[in-house]
Structure 1
């Protein structure tokens, strides 16, 4: 039974595949390593010009080299190359080529976040490499397999593969592989926040690469050391390491490592709370990432960008980056760093008084923290870490006499006894903690439920009071006036002619009451039950025209000119009914506070991701204090227009909630006795 799912592709001629290869070479030549790619292009073309090139092992080896070039920039081509390599190798029974094919196929699945498939591919490669004693590919398979286990947070299995690889690398003097194992083991220790062990293994790897004069690998180690120094707070050492690495990566045109170096540089400035400088470096990293087909590495970058914008008091942008990081983390099923993402989103929502959303993120944070703890393999990790310490002791005494080797075995036995003692203690503590954790969990759940109920009751009570106040103050009076008028008419104390004289005023009052009731019901719904937003593509010009027509009588009564400058092309992604309420309220307010023969203008300005709509009048305007308090929810104030028109004070609060429900913002600019301009933004297209 095969453990790899095959992807069906149409049959392609070798000429067509070669044209695809040439195309991708041209597309990505600007991204570095141009000489390597051109050399591969030339060699592949040379072999394809010969007969029976499909049976030539050298040609299959070149496909493997080509696949490694696609690992960063074009994953679809990587899968095509791997399938071709495996198929040709099986045809001529070329085991080495088949191993190489499984390795690059595993890289493809690794980079799209399908770790189980990647593990299956690397396990196949390892099994076949062991069968033919192909040491280099065997070591490569073990290292790649260990990396996938690390991605799945199975550090115990990852360490076992690295330990096996270290033994083999020492036996066959494979220094480069030994260094890679040291680097990858340091990553596991860094995840466990054991920075001394991290620096120890990175230093061991650095010594090997310096001895070989490999500047690029030295720069990579410096990058990793910088990351560790940042964790320990040694920002000076981190800066020195990064500054030494960046010129090497720029010269070698190693995009992924260069973007990582820029990201680390930005992280240093975040630690120093110099957020503008941090943003400069993080933007450079993000720019490079647009050319790199590795979504996994964008998670920490977006997390740092979110923290930076949070430091710059731009919580809206910070939330956008945090959501991007969370989306990739969930899509690739990556737990590392997700707790930090959730903490940022919780902090933003809490600061914005979005308590339900903040509680959702808090609960998700707790769940993910529990999952991470379960997947840490604490017991196996401690056993294998003790084995690593024994390996360090073995290295110290390997050149000693036979007598010291006996002493070393004694140390190993003691270590085993200590491990057993630790296991017994862990089992006892785990049993005791299990009951305590259940009780703590119930206590936390009950506390959160009580707080949520308390907030809901307080909010409902406040809403009830406000509703009664508005009904008593702004609706009861006009309705009682209607009742008195009709009573007089019914009792014949008012003639029909006299009654008809009141009809214009009655009509205006009815329009006012209808408008007030609409705002009141909309606001009450948002406060009591929440408001469901159903966005779709909406033409703003149509909504403005309808509102102008609806309010035409009020405008004509004051000889006000209303101008709609919005073009039919202004289309937004929004809830039509909610934005209609916003536009109608803003135009109504403009009519209310504009003097006789005034002018109201509605315009739209196009921005990168949204439209900015403005309703501008040349009316009475407002002072600075009113501009600050006009959207606040603490109290409701009734204002009177230039013709003594009356309102509830709810309209602008409703507008604010409607605009924010649709992902926009609203604000006012005004000068006393010169007029007011109310602005709000709406998204152009759907966002994810």
Structure 2
């Protein structure tokens, strides 16, 4: 009965901590909005009030944050109040960062930083740089994260704002710890703690102690980790309400320390507390860490069924976190690439518009000086109408560029939906296999049987990675087309030789029927990628003992290459979308996974070579892909 009441009391405390913090924050917001409602004059004080309300909504209500920050921005621009404008941009950036790390956050942070630097405000410049570092931390780009955090510290290190300086030092330590450099992390955590202590205040953030426990734990310095853990527990016993996110991390860290000290029951208790708070606030990182802790405890105690369940839950959650991170990275670089293209195009159009405007001004001046009659005026009017049409046409192009930017973001989403799990799944299988082998749960002959299967999955994953890198390079930098003559039959022989292990495994008959000495003038690297994808697909979708033939012929000024198989064919409903990102991947005859990207890359590369690609297929009878390249043999 005593344990029941203790658990009930703990639950009530957790709920009180979580709701109490939110209630206090909402109470502050309500107080400020009440003051705002009585503010009738649009002045700089109102701007500051709007910005404060917007900031208080961070972590509570993103839409309200953006709404108040937008009001502050409009009023700041009207009043030409630079300081208010900078804070408004910062708040809008925080809103976008809170919206699943939207890369537009960086654009608004850049605007805010430029104003604060112009105003000579090093403290707020440091805060903005810290926010930018935090953004890159969310997308797991530790190099950029550390770069901005070190810049932030450079701005603040000569300031007397000790608490801000200590916070940034702690964030630098977090970045080093995330990069698996606990020695460097510990050095910055100790500097941060020294700064906090120098303020001679009792309200040292609990996260500062948690950081020291975590770093010492990763360095296997259990005595020091226990020392700071005891200090942390003393703070928890006090009257201060801490942020739920900080509490969840504190209990997760205490659970990890208790596990290392082999106090497994105590460790599970801390993990339970961390999971309770993590579920309350929806913190996936904390929840993932808890399930990994459960898995370790169950493994040590020999409860393998429970350990396996918790491990699967941990892998699922970790995969989800990785997918979110990949989505954020793809979104960031798609937006950066498209914004740069759009900026370049807009700059070109701006120059054209300036030239046209100069022509218009010159024409107007000429008309004023040389007004000699209606005929000259009519000619001038006709010319001006023509120029205005050009200006309108250029405005239309700018609008089209904006639509292309939106379309590219959609392509990013489709790309992410295709590759979201394929890169991690084989690695997860290898980890699971090695865990079973390490724990002695798998015999040598079982390991021997499973190794070729896992190896094939890794090879398939490398193919996916190759295609992804090829596509990314094409999108972000563009390929340089270079047409040179090469012998087609030798290229095909090399591809077949490279794929020989998979061909042998499936007992396929693959024939290169291209005439020796057949010369093609095209970009050889692009054609190799195209043919490798087509032949790999034919192998993948052709059952054991089937056949694949590669042929070529000259037809109407084109070299036509055909890859013909006796495989499972393509469903009629999928044919229309086979060369786009809207197509879904299909398992091969031996459950080989596809990338969902190969045929799209093939089409892009054949287009760059001024050729075309098409297919013929019947379900359960086979497929033939035709690649046509201009013969263009002059100069060979």
TM class by smaller structure: 0.3 to 0.5
Structure whose CA Rg is larger: 1
Q: TM-score, normalised by structure 1?
A: 0.44
Q: TM-score, normalised by structure 2?
A: 0.48
